[in-house]
Amino acid sequence: MIRSLRLKNLALVDDLLWELGPGFNILTGETGAGKSILIDGLNLLLGERADKTLIRTGEQACTVEADFAIDDKRLAREINAVLDEIGAEPCEDHTLLLKRTFTATGTNKQFANGSAVTLQGLKKLGDLLVDVHGPHDHQSLLLPQRQTAVLDAYGKLTSPLEAVQSAWDCLRQIRQKRESLQLDEATRAQKVDLLSFQVKEIEGAQLKPGDDETVERDYKIASNARQLIELASTITGILSESEDSVLSQLAHVERSLAAWQKIDSSLEETAALNRSAIAQLQELAASVTERIDSVDADSGTLNQLEERLNLIQKLKKKYGPTLAEVISHGERAAEELASLQSSDETLAKLAAEEVAAQKAFDSAAQKLSTARQKAAAPLGDKIQKELRGLGFSKALFRIDVTTLTEAGRDGLDRIEFIFAPNVGEEPRPLRAIASSGEMARVMLAIKTTLAEVDEVPVLIFDEIDANVGGETATQVGKKLRGLGNSHQVLCITHLPQVSAQGQQHFAVAKSVRQNRSVTELTRLTDKERIKEIARMLGGQTTKSLALAESLLQQGE
């Protein structure tokens, strides 16, 4: 559950700390007070793209932070697995801390348990933690793929679905390889000519990793051979070849030290230092001579190196930019050329692989379809039962599973929610008949039904109860409160009947501080709840206050 959410410099929010409770949390307030800002802030923390216009006027940066309690062992394992994958620290003391900042200059920073993470990493965590349903989310329920996802979630069909998707991906990959080989003859001949030229050009260069660096170094040495020879001559002359060379001078020192030792035998260490210096300088002179002997000053060698260097640079420009990429391109071109030159044999092999892959997909898809058909009837019955508690006393709801003309990555089934809200009406696809108010209640019925298998711990409903009222609104509130038994539920609502069912009630208001509008949040006491619900009923009159108190008593 969300323990707390903190927003700084977000739209009308200056610095706001929201400490939520378990179960059913209610958020109310006048239109424009800033209720949706709080949800916007949470969405940002869950990986939604940031818009710098959300930063409070006059400020340079916005910050959103949340403290999540991760008490469920299964969820803790999944969260820690994602944290490890994105390079963040694991949860300690059942706590996950998320933070996000973004600036007016476009800089974004995200953190999980104090470790910097990517926006995608933040979204992966958010998908495990929170399920947000906005005022327009019920529209997604009209999409066949969304209806399919609902059925798969209820039937716990993740494993067979993944098997179908894996088989489909394999089939598609083989099919694409086969189709790429089935070129017309002219195109194939052009492709063979191009690849043959590229392979001949790259293989003819006889490239090895690091050749470019080696040739560039050798070319630099060869092109400066005369200067290097002169430098070597100067060095060896100073060290050993001139009459007053360093080594000849040290030889004089050696003789003098030997004479000294005859008088003072304790001078051995000093004499050893001189002998060591002589040995090192002799080694230096020999090394310089050896290096300069290896320098090739021949103009022919220089020309060969220049040609080799130009060839490597040309190939890097065409196929690089690095030598490793040139070599890799040559290998790929050789493989593709060999494949084209033996295309008949390859096509026959791919055709056999495609048949096998098609059989594997068909088998997996049929197993998934059977499981979906098995889950469809009980899910339809349960949703229908929930709908009858939401003002559809005679409603009919079922789930049809039919076969698509063309199978796809999610299998061979078309899932269609069939609905008749009133007695005597012909059941038709949900997308064809439901009003927005009806859709909101259908969404709530589905979420209530899926609560037992829904593993996301936090459910947020942003005005999902729009376009309903009266006794139906009371039933909506009861359903949401019931969801609070298995989830932390947060509902933004304008309905007093729903508000009265809340276990924690927060009110948002807009005030003016130092000539600036500010959104403020208050956790309401029992007396304050009566006044707030009375306001929602139309005003704090004696009648509305009494009705508000009555609604709260019913909610208890």
Residue range 436-492, pLDDT digits in tens: 667 767 878 888 887 767 677 888 887 766 666 677 788 888 888 888 888 899 998
Q: Is residue 357 pLDDT above 90, yes or no? A: yes
Do 14 and 124 lie in a common domain?
Answer: yes
* Amino acid sitting at position 45: L
Residue 504 phi/psi, 5-degree rounding, is: -130, 135
Q: Looking at residue 43, which CATH number applies to its domain? A: 3.40.50.300
- β-strand partners of 458: 130, 488
509-535: average pLDDT: 87
* Arithmetic mean of pLDDT, 190-207: 90
Decide if 138 is inside a domain.
no
User: What sign results for the dihedral spanned by CA atoms 446, 447, 448, 454?
Assistant: positive
Q: 266 lies in a domain?
A: yes
Which pLDDT tens digit goes with each residue over 336-356? Answer: 888 777 777 777 888 899 999
- Domain end marker among 317, 337, 357: 337
The count of domains in the chain is 3
Residue 363 or residue 15, greater confidence: 363
User: Is residue 164 domain-resident?
Assistant: no
Ranked by mean pLDDT, which of 186-195, 295-304, 354-363, 433-442 comes out on top?
Answer: 354-363
Residues 7 and 32 both lie in one domain:
yes
509 and 532 inside one domain: no
CA distances from 13 to 362, 402, 518 (A): 55, 50, 6
pLDDT in tens, 79-129: 999 999 999 898 888 899 999 998 888 888 999 999 999 999 998 898 888
Q: Are residues 492 and 507 in the same domain?
A: yes
Give the whole-angstrom CA distance, residue 517 versus residue 308: 72
Shared domain check, 248 and 214:
yes
Q: Which amino acid is at 317?
A: K
Instruction: State the pLDDT at residue 171.
Output: 95
* DSSP secondary structure code for residue 541 in this structure: -
| Residue 477, domain member (yes or no) | yes
Of 153-167, 274-288, 435-449, 517-531, the range with the highest mean pLDDT is: 153-167
485 — phi, psi (to 5°)? Answer: -75, -25
Let me know if residue 510 belongs to a domain: yes
Q: Name the pLDDT band for 6 (thresholds 50, 70, 90).
A: very high
Is residue 434 predicted with pLDDT exceeding 70?
no
For residues 423 and 80, which has the higher predicted lDDT (pLDDT)?
Answer: 80
| Residue 71 within a domain | yes
* Claim to verify: residue 38 and residue 122 sit in the same structural domain: yes
Residue 178 has pLDDT above 80, yes or no: yes
pTM of the model as a whole: 0.60
pLDDT at 60: 86
Alpha carbons 403 and 70: distance in angstroms, whole number: 41
Is residue 418 in a domain? no
Q: Using an 8 Å Cβ cutoff, are 427 and 420 in contact?
A: yes
Strand partners, 413: 403
pLDDT of res. 436: 61
3-state secondary structure 17-67: EEECCCCEEEEEECCCCCHHHHHHHHHHHCCCCCCHHHECCCCCEEEEEEE
| Mean pLDDT value across the chain | 86
Strands 504-513 and 24-29: parallel
Q: Contact 167/364 with Cβ under 8 angstroms?
A: yes
For the residues 31-57, what does the mean pLDDT come to?
84
Using CA atoms, how far apart are residues 510 and 524, in angstroms rounded to an integer? 16
Is the separation of the CB atoms in 386 and 449 below 8 Å?
Answer: yes
The pLDDT, as a whole number, for residue 98 is 94
Span 57-86, pLDDT tens digits: 888 889 999 999 998 888 888 899 999 999
Confidence of residue 186 (pLDDT cuts 50, 70, 90): low
- 114 vs 234 pLDDT, higher one: 114
Query: pLDDT value at position 183?
Result: 66
Say if residue 229 is in the same domain as residue 121. Answer: no
pLDDT band at 197 (very low <50, low <70, confident <90, very high): very high
> Domain for residue 190, yes or no?
no
Say whether both 116 and 215 belong to one domain.
no
* Statement to judge: residues 98 and 19 lie in one domain: yes
pLDDT (mean) for 210-215: 86
Q: Which domain holds residue 312?
A: 204-337
pLDDT of residue 135: 59
Could you tell me if 14 and 119 lie in one domain?
yes
Same domain, 225 and 260: yes
Residues 211 and 118 in one domain: no
